[in-house]
Structure 1
Amino acid sequence: MSVVACFIIVWVGVRGALAYEHLTRVEASVSDVSAEFAADPSLAGPALENIATEARGAHELTSDGIWSLAERTPWLGPQLSAFRTIAASSDQLLTDALLPLAAVAQDTSLDDLRPSGGRFDTASLVELEPTAQRAADASGRAASAVQSLDRTPLINSVGSAVDRADALFTRSSAAIDALARATKLLPAMLGDDGPRSYLVLVQNNAEWRSLGGITGTAILLRTDGGVISLIDTRSATELSRGIRAPAAQLPDDVREIYGSRPARFFHNLTEIPDFSVDGPLAKEMYREQTGVDVDGVIAIDPVTLSYLLKATGPVALPDGESLTSSSAVSVLLNDVYQRYPEPAAQDAFFAGATGAVFSALLDGRGSATGLVTALARATEERRILLWSADPTQRALIDGTTLAGAIPTTDSDTARFGVYLNDGTGSKMSFYVRPIVTLTWGPCSAQDRQLTVTMTLTNTAPTDAATSLPKYVTGNGAFGTAPGAATVVSNIFLPEGWRLASATTTSGTGPTEGSFDGRDVLTFGSTLGPQATDTVVITVESDSGASEAEALITPTADASLPTAVQARCISSSSATLG
């Protein structure tokens, strides 16, 4: 071995060891710093400065000419290149994104964003907007650099480090991008440029629809100069009364799967798993029934309300009961049907409870940090959806989880949509537990296989037919025996992937259809108490995708994921030895 080669190895080895120490400290500190930044950006500056110094040191140690020369060598080169990319991206995320955000937030507290007397002060958002946009651009570039790294030639330890960095940068970039969009979107939505009106759909996850549940309650909000007013509350039953024809002509492929129900019954608006369709449909149905033309449509669910109650604390209901974070889901989605046999009384209770939570929120109860955390979790779980009639606002919403879009497959990631709809005509979805998993076949094969497995279990007690209220079981009104639950599952397959097989433990086969160019398999499962049905679908493709994701209907059970992921790790990946 030449003297030059020895020198390069020693040089890279020493600098690499020092850079590794810097990055280890960055990784160890980043969670605490992120939490501090989220809690109060104005106090996070010193901690961010320290961690940014560490990242800058790692970047400088891995960006000299000798390191660059070593990156051209076989086997070792890809490891060094990956290491340098992580160091450079860490420096960029902290120096060009988080530090400027912390600097501009020095004179701003999250409490400034909390409503007071029903009014939001949007001045701090407007001030933050240009810095937030530059930070979003910088964090996006940092995340893209790590995402684009080829894992195939990496040894296991380096590959694992890249995976951890990828997850960190992706989360950070998404959060900063959401902040940047919010600084542009919220001032206008809150009426800075004039009065706006919004229709809030409260989905009921006890009776599934693709994006969550039936629309049980519709709330009309008005904003003007930051002031939010609750104008009207109506039940879906009231808003569906008298509709004789579909409110809009649905495309043929939509009607093939869902019929005209979403355009004829307000309850069924979110049966179509695309909120860019559901939002305009809700706007039109509401206009026909009330004469009010809204500027946007928002969907939430009782699980979101439970998250908000963690921040606001308990609220008093019209009947004198206290609604808490831990009781909200059970009370609103199950207990109410035992207390109030009549649907009209149920609707009134549901509307009153929702209004009480909104009033607590608008009164400024709870910490701003708690509210931000609650809204962020609900948004990530796709429990908050948003459509705007304003094209500029829609452009800001598109590409985010708020848009409620059907998942799209790209060259890197194959994406399924697993959408669940109640077929019982009751509230038995509250008792059905869906478990979804993704599994790759051999990643070295020319035709890769990917399997999505969904197991549905009816957790209702064995005596559900008699122990549960008739309104919950449906009492056999739509052909399902009391105590049993019928689930209609629409599985959207990844674009460009071929169906290899589709089976169920119940022996029922799927109905095949298409939605906007995507193949859709529809299964019907009828589950007696404590019974299960498992759906297994395998698709194949010569795609080079190594990631997979399945989006799942958000249920009443907050412990269940609304998305699952799987990575295909090729056996050709480099190893030591």
Structure 2
Amino acid sequence: MKNRSRRGAERALLTLTTVLLLIGAAGAAWIAVRGAMAYQHLDAARDVLVGVGSSDSDPTVWADDLAAARDDMAAARALTSDPVWAAAGSLPWAGPQLTAIAALAGAADGAVAALEPVSAAASALSSGSLRTSDGGYDVELLASWEPAADRATVALTDATSRLSAVELRDVLPALADQVTRAHELFARARADADALHRTTRLLPAMLGADGPRSYLVLFQNSAEWRSLGGVVGAVAQLNTDQGRITLTAQASSTDFRDAGGEPVADVPEGLRPLFDERPARYVQNVTQLPDFAAGAPLAREMWRQQHGTEVDGVIAVDPVALSYLLTATGPVSLPSGDVLTSENTVPLLLDEVYRRYSDPKQQDAFFQSATSAVFGALAAGDLEPRALVEALDRSGRERRLLVWSADSQEQAVLDGSTLQGGLPGSGDGATTLGVYVNDGTGSKMDYYMRLGTATTWCSDGTAMLRVTLRNDAPDPATLPEYVTGGGAYGVPPGHTLTGVYVYLPTGALLQDNTVTGDADPSGFVRAQDRGHEVLKWSVRVAPGQSATLDLTVATPRTPRLETVTTPMLPAVAAANEAPSCADAG
């Protein structure tokens, strides 16, 4: 009886084992088939999404493309969300693959669904429906896009977070590459959705949806460096009302009354040891402060004292931003007979004008006519809407377009964006250093100056930054005295005296600094600004020479090490090799 019972138990165990094996094989086959199908759907959707929003794509068909991508994403999610799939996620080797596919499908499905309403806004911008019959902007239509942009930003934030949490160490390379690419794609889309959300919250009011507004526009001259771009050479007041824009006043920086010994307001305490009180005395220097929220109110107060108008906000642009805007307006004619285009704006405004006119008043008049022509074309509405959006987006990303609002709630909308022109912050896996340059020569020689930066991690707690300045000026004898400075401030003609302000990340400490190259002996000042240790490097560079500063910084290691710099002229940065950790002090 015992043997018969044992044989019966053995047969039952064998039968159970066979059944389990068959179930396991069926489950594996089920997962394999559904996984292959899901992967095909994800791959098809990725090909569609890569094309959406590319420079040569047509926004009017984005909605159809996104609908197709959403169908593929929804199918992939359905294929990877059943109980069998979830249970298999804990299996060795196979588990990480299944988890990655499921996370990719789930994140992508939610993100694409949120993007569809945003595509309608892109299509409207491209078609020009934002313009009204009287040449203004439809502020109600613009505001109506805000809820969809908000939902898209939230969904894309969730999607990038979900993909960031996927552990790729044990995932097959092809699948890991798919997850990485999707993360990059959704991160870019999130940035675009966030920009649209901020725009739809802020721009209707700025365009006068709730009543007339006025804004002071500062035009920075990049031929004479300031932290945020260049010296303020010309200013203008724009008024807005119910979507219509008018240019109501213009002035040169030389038109402002000399503030004498009294600044118009207090310079923030941390900035005073670094920049003195010059930004509060002269409108030319308000962009010397690397924080636009600190400099813009000074310009606003100077304008109030000069013209009696208290504007609602301040905007700063540089000649490169103007060249981007001209891609939307097309060429504009100037009273001088010149035709300003996207290609000739920078050399005409920053070089040729000084060769043509020796009188600074004539130079200022030329600048004013150029800016008036560009903004006149923008206000008239005779432009290509999509090119305008791209020009504004590019200018913002490159920190060539800065905005400050006197309304604290509106200013809060700008928090964390490049439009705010704030001090470098670290987060999202990045450690960021700021490198800001200011001319001390009283010249326009920075048209020929080149700035380069490079960084490297040396250990978990040590980083290195390299800053290079190079003077590519021709023979000073071939340049106008107004450009070389004529030996003012004790600097020989053609030489440049530059103040380089390096802002370390909050809590970071400077360990060592070394200067190499051809430059004259350098000077250093150390200070603190709102939690940032700051090193000011003063250096003089002759034509054909260069100087390099290497800094060693104590700061916890993060996945990325980045720099934020004063916006340079296109394609003129100094090439920089990464600093050697062997040289760290």
TM-score (norm 1): 0.89
- Specify which of 523, 539, 557 is matched with residue 537 of structure 2: 523
Range that drifts further, 449-458 or 331-340: 449-458
1:31-85 superposed Cα distances (whole Å, 9 cap, x missing partner): 32224897434x3222111111122222223333333333334565445433332
The farther-off stretch of 30-39 and 309-318 is: 30-39
Q: Which amino acid aligns with 1:406?
A: L
Q: Secondary structure at the match of 1:112?
A: coil
Amino acid at match of 1:291: G
Moved more, 170-179 or 127-136: 127-136
Structure-2 residue corresponding to 1:505: 516
Instruction: Indicate the larger mover: 504-513 or 187-196.
Output: 504-513
**Secondary structure in structure 2 of the residue aligned to 1:210:** coil
- The structure with the largest alpha-carbon Rg is 2
| Aligned equivalent of 1:553, options 566, 569, 574 | 566
| 44-53 vs 513-522, greater mean Cα deviation | 44-53
Structure 1 residue aligned with 2:477, among 460, 466, 472?
466
C-alpha deviation, 1:369, in angstroms: 0.9
Query: Which residue of 253, 267, 270 corresponds with 1:236?
Result: 253
Change over 3 Å in CA distance of 1:484–1:90 after alignment to 2: same
2:227 aligns with one of 210, 220, 231: 210
Query: How much has 1:98 moved relative to structure 2?
Result: 1.5
Does the Cα contact within 8 Å between 2:126 and 2:386 map onto a contact in 1?
no
Question: What is the match of residue 40 of structure 1?
Answer: 59
Equivalent residue for 1:111?
A: 128
Q: Kindly tell me: are residues 116 and 255 of structure 1, through their superposed partners in 2, closer, same or farther at Cα, counting changes over 3 Å? A: farther
Q: Quick one: percent identity of the two aligned structures?
A: 42
Match of 1:89 in 2: 107
Q: 1: CA distance between counterparts of 2:252 and 2:478?
A: 27
Query: Per the alignment, in what secondary structure is the counterpart of residue 109 of structure 2?
Result: helix
C-alpha contact (below 8 Å) 1:37/1:44 kept by paired residues? no
Task: For 1:253, give the aligned amino acid.
Answer: G
Asked if 1:24 is matched to 2:43, the reply is yes
| Aligned counterparts of 1:150 and 1:493: Cα–Cα separation in 2 | 31
Query: Cα deviations across residues 522-556 of structure 1 (Å, max 9, x unaligned)?
Result: 1122211121112222323345x212221111122
What code does the residue aligned with 2:163 have? V
* 1:440 equivalenced with 2:457 (yes/no): yes
How far apart, in 2, do the equivalents of 1:480 and 1:79 lie? 65
Tell me, yes or no, if the aligned pair for 1:503 and 1:509 is still in contact at 8 Å: no
Q: Distance in 2 between matches of 1:74 and 1:565?
A: 41
Give the CA deviation at 1:500.
Answer: 3.3
Offset of residue 251 of structure 1 = 2.6
Secondary structure of 1:554's aligned partner:
coil
- Once the two structures are TM-superposed, the CA of residue 559 in structure 1 deviates from its matched residue by 6.6
CA distance in 2, matches of 1:37, 1:556: 25
CA distance in 1, matches of 2:578, 2:122: 35
Is 1:115–1:364's contact at 8 Å kept on the other side of the alignment? no
Give 2:8's aligned residue: none
Q: Does 1:67 align with 2:79?
A: no
One-letter amino acid of the structure 2 residue matched with residue 69 of structure 1: A
Which residue matches 1:574? Answer: none
CA distance in 2, matches of 1:204, 1:105: 33
Q: Is 1:287 aligned to residue 304 of structure 2?
A: yes
- Aligned AA (2:485): G
**In structure 2, distance between residues paired with 1:206 and 1:402:** 22
The aligned counterpart of 1:49 is 67
CA gap 1:59/1:453 in 2 versus in 1, 3 angstroms: farther
Contact residue 209 and residue 271 of structure 1 kept, 8 A: yes
Q: Judge which range, 345-354 or 173-182, deviates more.
A: 173-182
Please state how far the C-alpha of 1:490 moved relative to its aligned partner.
0.7
Q: Does 1:537 align with 2:551?
A: yes
> In 1, distance between residues paired with 2:133 and 2:374?
15
Higher RCO (Cα < 8 Å, 6 or more apart) = 1
Equivalent in the alignment of 1:128? 145
Letter in 2 for 1:81: T
Per-residue deviation, 1:126: 2.5
| SS of match in other structure, 1:496 | coil
Query: Which residue number in structure 2 is paired with residue 415 of structure 1?
Result: 432
- Of 25-34 and 218-227, more deviation after overlay is shown by 25-34
Deviations 1:170-225 (A, max 9, x none): 11011111112211211111111111110001111111111111111111011112
The number of aligned residues is 555
Alignment gaps of 5+ in structure 2: 1-16, 580-585
| CA deviation string 1:120-147 (max 9, x = no partner) | 2222112222222222222222223223
Q: Which residue of 2 aligns with 1:572?
A: none
- Aligned equivalent of 1:182: 199
Q: Secondary structure at the match of 2:383?
A: coil
1:147-186 matches, cutoff 5 A:
147-150=164-167, 157-186=174-203
| Matched position secondary structure for 2:489 | coil
Alpha-carbon distance in structure 1 between the residues aligned to 2:108 and 2:559: 24
Cα distance change of structure 1 residues 118 and 67 upon mapping to structure 2, 3 Å threshold: same
Match of 1:334 among 342, 346, 351: 351
Tell whether the 8 Å contact from 2:402 to 2:420 is kept in structure 1 after alignment.
yes
SS at match of 2:563: strand
Residue 109 of structure 1 deviates from its aligned partner by 5.9
CA contact (8 A) 1:513 1:519 kept: yes
SS across alignment from 2:514: strand
Residue among 453, 466, 473 paired with 1:453: 466
User: Secondary structure in 2 aligned to 1:34?
Assistant: coil
Give the alignment's TM-score, normalised by structure 2: 0.88
- Residues 326-372 of structure 1 show CA distances to partners (whole Å, capped at 9, x for unaligned) of 00001011111111111111111001101101111111222111111
- Contact 2:53–2:59 (CA<8 Å) still a contact in 1? no
CA distance in 2 between partners of 1:448 and 1:161 (Å):
32
Structure 1 alignment gaps of length 5 or more: 567-577
Q: Partner of 2:14 in structure 1?
A: none
Contact 1:143 1:170 in 2 (8 A): yes
Instruction: Give the letter for the 1:194 counterpart.
Output: G
Q: State the 1:263 CA deviation.
A: 0.7
SS in 2 for 1:173: helix
Deviations 1:5-36 (A, max 9, x none): 65555444443333222222222222322248
Q: Which SS does the other structure have where 2:446 is aligned?
A: helix
- Contact 2:258–2:281, Cα closer than 8 Å, also in 1: no
**Kept after mapping to 2: 8 A contact 1:210/1:273:** yes
> Do the aligned residues in 1 keep the contact of 2:235 with 2:253 (CA within 8 Å)?
yes
What is the letter of the counterpart of residue 34 of structure 1?
G
Q: Per the alignment, do residues 422 and 151 of structure 1 end up closer, same or farther by CA in structure 2, a change over 3 Å counting?
A: farther
